[in-house]
Amino acid sequence: MRNESVTLSSLDALLYPRSVAVLGASQNPNKLGYIQVKALLDGGFAGEIYPINPKAEDIAGLTCYPSLADVPGPIDLAIFCVSAEHVQSSLHDCANKNVKGAIIFASGYSETGEEGARQQAMMARIAKKNGIRLIGPNCVGLVNTLNGLVGTFSPAVMSYPLKDERSVGYVSQSGAFGVLTYMAAAQHGLSFNYFITVGNEVDTEFADFVEYMIHDPKTKVISGYLEGAKDPERLRKLAEEALDCNKPIVVMKTGRSSAGSRAAASHTGSLAGSDQLYDAFFKQTGIVRANDYEEIISFSKLFLSGKLPTGRNTVIITSSGGRGINEADRCEANGLQIIPLSEKTKVRIKESVPPFASTANPIDLTAAASVTNPELFIAPMKALLEDPEVDNIIFTEFPMNWGSDHPLLQEFIQLCKESDKFVLVATFPLQGMSIPKGAAEMEKNGIPVITGDLNPIGSLAKLVAYSEKYSKKKLTSHQEEQRRSGGSVESKQILQNLLKPGKTLSEFEAGQVLAQYGIPTARKALAVTVEEAIIQANEIGYPVVLKIDSNQILHKTEANGIRLNIQSGEEVRKAYADILQSAKMYKPDAVINGVTVHEMLPKGTEVIVGVSNDPVFGPVIMFGLGGIFVETFKDISFRLAPLTRQDALEMIEELKARAILKGVRGQAPADQEAIIDVLLHVSDLMMDAEGLIEELDINPIIVYENGLKAADALIVSSSEVLEKTEVGG
């Protein structure tokens, strides 16, 4: 366990140093060592700046020191503008000078192969031993715009003016994408407070800065670029904390395609899990997944408006029919509903707009509004703001000439302020006509104005989803805590006793485990004599099924070890003998536990629940419908254990074939609550198994209108106790 207060204060050395030394400082304006010194000066960094170079007296007007040891005062942060071969000795110098933090740009480490990885490990050891927090190597550094600490050589970063509002932090596993995002954000009027590229994450990693920003009161949104989480469990807990305090984490995660995954794996040396699992991870944790950096920018701007959308019902106001249609398409593609307006609202709108304007949704004010009657833009607002069915109002454009003190703009702002509805101005991204004059005034008052190239509608849909997640979290957090508690002490004991390294449980044993965890299974009993079998069959009730039971015979059908639809004691007698004989022929040396007598289940809807162990994420629970739906259509949903009830519900709702569970072709609907229970019980079971189960498969489960029963189950123990994969640092 990391000591949190130490973590925070030590990251302060990186983000809030009182003094900075630049190792490898240079007088040559084309060298990194000059650019870095200049960047600190231009950024207005208020602390001490010490250029280090044995051959220069002063650099960019600052006194230069031959070595760290020669610097008169203490040094909090050292920026390494030196090549890889000088990093190690410089790090020793830092240790001697009691430097607390270091930024290392140099590349040539784990990203290049074994020798690089060895060098990197050595760097990590030196830093750890001496209590130096590092970012990098192979990074482009960091910027703190709040104190002018420009700890990067990237010339592009500082070329945009900073805005007053600076409350979005950004942390990136890619230097290049980081710089692009910083620049794009700045171009669109969004200034980050912290901008951090973590490179090879030898010491500090992505999650460290997420944690820092959760506890940082100056940060309202945490954004970033992720290739692979080093420790998903930690990130999960952080995401939970962030959601608790309504501080969204919005990340761009690449590697969706198979080619993308390949490249991601070979890129910064991250161990990237499959993209589908990341999708599950983000959904479960409430981390917002941005498709591109545009969505990071617009999502952040929307969130900073200070309102959370109350739902998906959306109205569009436009002066161009074509644009209205286009935005309506976009809304529906993103899951926002373009609702038909109520008669009452329509009548009220009609009173305030000319007869040729359309009061359908999108509300088309026609070109008259933009050319001659701009006041029409706000005419429908009163009716819409008072309509309880409306959650969001989107303008496809806005009067260009309304300055901040225009009375109509002020009226508009006042109307919006008094309402909890989300109002968004989504303009077209054309030079010279994209941003209305009053945009700054609107944004200051909680009405985001976003150009269409940033996909504001996609981001609004994501903010709606975030808002839903946040509200649910608030409602259910107590319940959820309880859910995570796992099974009873007793059932955990029974489970762990049954699991032996490398052992595959017999169907009977697997059934016992499921029963312990409250998962209904077909009634069954193990018989070791034919008389026992007959007694058990009588007890269970005919028809019954007989199956061979042996830990050495896993494929019972292949062994001809199953008899279905047995109707009487006489038939039990015959089947019992047949099965034993078949088993002997199939595998003469198999240890036969006996024959199991099963209740024969009536027909119902077949579903499958499975679990596999992912090296990054641990137990992954899978749900799908039986037969072709899993095999042919791959219509499967995934979530990571432990599950919440909401997770389980979403697993069902995510299936394309979910309609079948509701009942089709006259069939009764399947018992959804019973399925949710099974998923939650399996989640408990896997948490209790603590890595001892490699694979679990309940296939099929027969679901009825009331209740369900597992017909067959397979549990494979892990061949060795799995350890959580840890990469790097």
227 interacts with a second copy by CB under 8 A: yes
Residue 21, SS3 per DSSP: strand
Site string for a second copy, 298-337 (x = CB under 8 A): ---------------------xxxxxxxx-xx-xxx----
Give the strands of the sheet with 101-104, arranged side by side: 48-52, 19-23, 77-80, 101-104, 133-135
How would you classify residue 135: left for phi > 0, otherwise alpha for psi between -120 and 50, otherwise beta? beta
Would you count residue 431 as binding a second copy (CB under 8 A)? yes
Dihedral angle at the C-alpha atoms of 299, 280, 686, 703, nearest 10 degrees?
Answer: 120
- Write out the two tokens for 38: 């200049």
- Residue 6 found at the interface with a second copy (CB under 8 A): no
626 is an interface residue for a second copy by CB under 8 A: no
Beta-carbon-side half-sphere exposure of residue 213 (alpha carbons within 13 Å) = 32
Choice between 65 and 225, CB closer to a second copy? 225
How many binding residues for a second copy (CB under 8 A)? 72
Q: Are strands 693-703 and 605-614 parallel, antiparallel or unpaired?
A: antiparallel
For the segment 656-695, give every residue that binds a second copy (CB under 8 A). 656-657, 659-660, 664-665
- Scan for tokens 């454009």, then name that residue: 397
Contact between residue 176 and residue 203 where contact means Cβ atoms under 8 Å apart: no
Q: CB of residue 309 vs a second copy: minimum separation in angstroms?
A: 18
Least CB distance from residue 535 to a second copy, whole Å? Answer: 37
Q: Which is nearer to a second copy, 365 or 601 (CB)?
A: 365
Rounded least distance, CB 257 to a second copy, Å: 3
Q: According to the binding rule CB under 8 A, does residue 414 interact with a second copy?
A: no
Choosing from 9, 187, 496, 581, the residue that interacts with a second copy (CB under 8 A) is: 187
Least distance to a second copy, CB of residue 114, Å: 12
Taking the complex as a whole, how short is the minimal distance between the CB of residue 682 and a second copy, in angstroms?
26
Site for a second copy contains 283 (CB under 8 A): no
SS3 316: strand
Q: Taking contact as CB under 8 A, which single stretch among the options 95-103, 362-370, 404-412, 606-614 is the one that binds a second copy?
A: 362-370
Nearer to a second copy by Cβ, of 163 and 484: the residue is 163
Residue carrying the six token digits 């009061």: 359
| Closer CB to a second copy, 329 or 351, in the complex | 329
CA distance 420 to 413: 13
The single residue among 122, 176, 528, 577 that binds a second copy, judged by CB under 8 A, is 176
- Nearer to a second copy by Cβ, of 305 and 370: the residue is 370
In 3D space, the residue among 20, 25, 99 whose CA is nearest the CA of residue 66 turns out to be 25
Of 154 and 550, nearer to a second copy (C-beta) is 154
- In degrees rounded to 5, what are phi and psi of residue 363? -80, 115
Among 92, 163, 218, 262, interactor with a second copy by CB under 8 A: 262
Query: Using CA of residue 48, residue 53, residue 55, residue 60, what is the dihedral sign?
Result: negative
Chain position carrying tokens 């190690």: 88
Binds a second copy (CB under 8 A): choice among 260, 520, 691, 707: 260
How many CB atoms within 10 Å of residue 170? 29
Shortest CB 431 distance to a second copy, Å: 6
Which residues, 73 to 112, sit near a second copy by CB under 8 A? 107-108, 111-112
Q: Which member of 146, 183, 400, 408 binds a second copy (CB under 8 A)?
A: 183
d(CA 377, CA 398): 7
CB 260, min distance to a second copy, A:
4
Residue 471 binds a second copy, judged by CB under 8 A: no
* CA dihedral over 108, 111, 115, 120, signed as positive or negative: positive
Q: Taking Cα atoms as reference points, which of 134, 60, 77 lies closest to residue 68? A: 77
CB of 635 to a second copy, least distance (A): 9
Of 403, 408, 328, nearest in space to 363 by CA: 328
User: Least distance in Å: CB of 386 to a second copy?
Assistant: 22
Q: Does position 225 bind a second copy by CB under 8 A? A: yes
Q: How many residues does the chain have?
A: 729
Instruction: Check the CA dihedral 30-32-33-34 and report its sign.
Output: positive
Query: Least distance (Å) from a second copy to the CB of residue 168?
Result: 18
* Parallel/antiparallel/unpaired status of strands 142-144 and 149-151: antiparallel
* Residue 563 in contact with a second copy, rule: CB under 8 A: no
At its nearest, how many Å lie between a second copy and the CB of residue 63? 29
Binding mask 110-139 for a second copy (x = CB under 8 A): -xx---------------------------
Looking at the Cβ atoms of 71 and 328, the one nearer to a second copy is 328
Q: Are strands 288-290 and 249-253 parallel, antiparallel or unpaired?
A: parallel
Looking at the DSSP bridge assignments, the partners of residue 168 are 192, 221
Task: Write down the residue that tokens 């410089």 correspond to.
Answer: 90
Q: Which of 404, 392, 471 is nearest to 442 (CA)?
A: 404
Q: What is the x/- site pattern for a second copy, positions 330-349, by CB under 8 A?
A: -xxx----x-----------
Among residues 581, 596, 583, which one has the least CA distance to residue 557?
583
555 is a contact residue toward a second copy (CB under 8 A):
no
Determine, following the binding rule CB under 8 A, whether residue 366 of this chain makes contact with a second copy: yes
- What track of x and - describes contact with a second copy for positions 576 through 615 (by CB under 8 A)? ----------------------------------------
